[in-house]
Structure 1
Amino acid sequence: MKILVLANFGMGLYKFRKELLEELIKQSNDVYISFPHDEYVFKLKSLGCEYLESNVDRRGTNPVTDMALILTYIKIIRRIKPDVVLTYTIKPNVYGGIACRITKTPYLTNITGLGTSIENKGLMQKVALGLYRIGLKESRCVFFQNEPNKQFFTKKKVVKRRTRLIPGSGVNLKHHVLEEYPNNTETIKFLFIGRIMKAKGIDELLKAAKIVKEKYLNVQFDLIGFIEEDYTEQLKEYEKNGVVNYHGPQNDVHKFIRKAHATILPSYHEGTANVLLESASSGRPVLASKVTGCIETFDEGISGFGFKVKSVDSLVEAIIRFINLPDDKKKAIGIAGRKKMEKEFDRCIVINAYIEELNSLKEN
């Protein structure tokens, strides 16, 4: 088969879907990928993928730009004539879906999360849902990464055809192996991995870190990720005052997970939080918002702790609760997380689901 994959950036494809791409190529499929040119193009081409550029403005709302994206997708589809198109994230899902409908090309859609435009009720939500209805109407299968997202789209009559629930993007258990728990108890290290933006709970995290640091001198907060919104000066101030350590974006987050005692994610919404899956797979307890996409990744009090979303007080309470645990209990929570990943979130589950759907297309 000729398979075209549409995404909004290369990092997501390489870090979370590389194994799927490798399996598709291994099965003698021709795999084409399309997203804005970045440093991951070379890495994905080295797997055997063929690259075609498309300009996706991830956060833009310009209808002219979006119309140009549809035309780009149509041009790409007509050029390579794929047997099926796989789409990820909102704009490739919507505009890729529209392009597939126009060209009468089968496509499979992956809802990686609702996104801010849908989470924030009002006109933007109505517009986003309307676009989704158009883009997903002929999708042969819509993959959802958690049950609440699936129920929401069904209730809103966005999807009417086949749907399938998968455990997020899954986690590569061989790459994120169970690591020995840090024996350094003099400094307890908390790790945040994610885009530096309001929707990831960065405001609450910075405030909570300041409160905790005033009470516990032996605590360290490490932050990793791209600055998506204007937090540059604020981060510099918090670093200067010794509240957090900001390490910028990192290609290899595993080395930071290995040194951490726990991972924190105060996100407002997620599809399924990959950073929590990778941390748990490595044997690290997770502290996360009690929101869809996070709560599925841990068992409360067994492999992690939840806290109220957008609540600094609740976040502080969860952090202090973890700090005061005995060392052997912290380690046991991490091991429980690894077991949960092995049982429920192995990336092979996701790969097999895609292969089954592709095989079904071949038969039809």
Structure 2
Amino acid sequence: MQANKKIVLIGTTGSSFYGFRADLIKQLVSEGHTVYALTSEYTEQCLEKIKVLGAIPVTYQLSRGGLNPFADIQSFLQLKKILKNLQPDIVFSYFAKPVIYGSMAAKAAKVPTVIGMLEGLGYTFTNQPEGQSAKTKLIRNIQVLLYRMAFPCLHKMIFLNPDDQYDLMQKHNLKVAEVHILGGIGLNLEGYPYSEAEMSPVKFLFIGRLLKEKGVFELITAMRLVKVKYPQAHFTILGAIDHQNMGALKQVELDALLEEQLFEYPGYVTNVNQWITDSSVFVLPSYREGVPRSTQEAMAIGRPVITTDVPGCRETVIDGLNGFLVPKWDAEALAEKMCYFIENPEQVNLMGLESYKIAQEKFDADKVNSKLIEIMGLKN
């Protein structure tokens, strides 16, 4: 019988624990382990939701996006003190900064097992049509230097896709004793029941922040191209403007597009599964992902996917089977595949069924969490 363990999960936003880690936390708690959730961005409501899962919330300070070395040193020292007090058996950090400073703090606190997980490499590792700016390259070099300091503190490292492992570890000669490819953080599939799509008309759906890196500008160009050929084509965009991001769609641009009536825009919604059910085809022309959750959700419900042949996105589509992979930054290719579904509506549910089968096999949270628990060394 596996002895009960103290497990510390180190993240940033409180919502990430109950939004993406809920099933894992509940499973660990049900097996008798004590779980602490360390969060740096939270509300009292967030902390209550974490408690409902059975975890013990602990708050700490961390600037998720800043590059202030003094603030980051303070975060490291605070994490080290918390971990020394808790004396956990396992520390599991996710997101870039927690992996860096959480892992170093865990080693300093002599934690027996230290695990990191990167669900994507972020914008500094994302190619741009015009090339990366000097500032972006500098920030990436700083990140790599910090990873070079942190990775020797890790016993195990988890990536969602093999491209991320290659682009970070192989290219920069970083080493960890054990490396695992998870293939997606998974979904509670009960929340995404399969349904056949309606095709009168074929409805295209995009879900994501309205960012350049999500391919939103290529999507808008592709929509216009499709509308020239099929004026009644129906598009929906779900997601908020990220006003803090330099690559975000501007509010004035969004207002002009809505005036043009190019697409339906409900904004940010919480009932994503209902919108997917009401759609026919899911579209994500992103520049790079870990393994996109929105695509997993669409596949679970049984929708074909048009996405880009880039890291993370290519993990979700077998080209021609459950959708199409198109070249990045190519609005014409994207429009062509959307037109294909308008012209061949019978393919929507045929390919959608294949998406459903792939989701059942690859993206079931029970299977993913079972793999994570095995990586943690907690299998009975």
Same fold, TM-score > 0.5, yes or no: yes
- Structure 1 position 8 matched with structure 2 position 12: yes
Q: Deviations over 1:214-271 (max 9, x none)?
A: 3322222222223223422211211121012222222221111110111111111111
Contact 1:190 1:261 in 2 (8 A): yes
- Paired residue for 2:189? 173
- Secondary structure, aligned partner of 2:203: strand
1:235 matched to 2:254? The reply is yes
Question: Which segment drifts farther, 62-71 or 317-326?
Answer: 62-71
Kindly report which structure 2 residues correspond to 1:261-280, keeping only aligned pairs within 5 A, or say none: 261-280=280-299
Deviations 1:133-164 (A, max 9, x none): 21221212111111122233331222231011
In structure 2, C-alpha distance between the alignment counterparts of 1:54 and 1:251, rounded to whole Å = 28
Q: Which runs of 4+ in 1 moved over 4 A?
A: none
Letter in 2 for 1:154: M
Amino acid at match of 1:344: K
1:62-105 deviation line (CA, Å, top 9, x unaligned): 32332332233223223322221111111111111121122122
Cα distance change of structure 1 residues 58 and 319 upon mapping to structure 2, 3 Å threshold: farther
Q: Give the aligned partner of residue 42 of structure 2.
A: 37
Partner of 1:124: 139
Change (3 A) 1:153 1:188: same
Secondary structure of the residue aligned to 2:190 is: coil
Percent identity, aligned pairs only, is: 29
Superposition map of 1:1-364 within 5 A: 1-35=5-39, 36-38=41-43, 40-105=46-111, 106-119=113-126, 122-155=137-170, 156-182=172-198, 184-185=199-200, 187-228=201-242, 229=245, 230-231=248-249, 232-326=251-345, 328-359=346-377
Q: Is the 8 A contact 2:156 2:176 kept in 1?
A: no
Please report the TM-score for the alignment, with normalisation by the length of structure 2.
0.88
* CA distance in 1: counterparts of 2:178 and 2:93, whole angstroms: 15
The structural deviation recorded for 1:351 is 0.9
DSSP 3-state at the match of 2:66: coil
Contact kept, 8 Å, 1:286 with 1:303, in 2: the verdict is yes
Q: Which runs of 5+ in 2 are unaligned?
A: none
Q: Could you tell me the TM-score, scaled by structure 1's length? A: 0.92
Q: Does the Cα contact within 8 Å between 1:153 and 1:159 map onto a contact in 2?
A: no
Contact 1:119 1:125 in 2 (8 A): no
Measure, in 1, the Cα distance between the counterparts of 2:189 and 2:90: 29
Q: Aligned letter for 1:208? A: A
CA distance in 2, matches of 1:318, 1:159: 40
Counterpart CA distance in 2 for 1:27 and 1:135 is 30
SS in 1 for 2:153: coil
**Secondary structure class of the residue paired with 1:179:** coil
Q: Secondary structure at the match of 2:35?
A: strand
Count of paired positions: 359
In the alignment, the residues of structure 2 paired with residue 192 and residue 64 of structure 1 have an alpha-carbon distance, to the nearest angstrom, of 40
Please give the alpha-carbon distance, in whole angstroms, between the structure 1 residues aligned to 2:101 and 2:197: 45
CA deviation map 1:157-194 (0-9, x unaligned): 22231011112102322222212322x51x32211111
8 Å contact kept, 2:18–2:53: no
Could you tell me which runs of 5 or more consecutive residues in structure 1 were left unpaired when the two chains were aligned: none
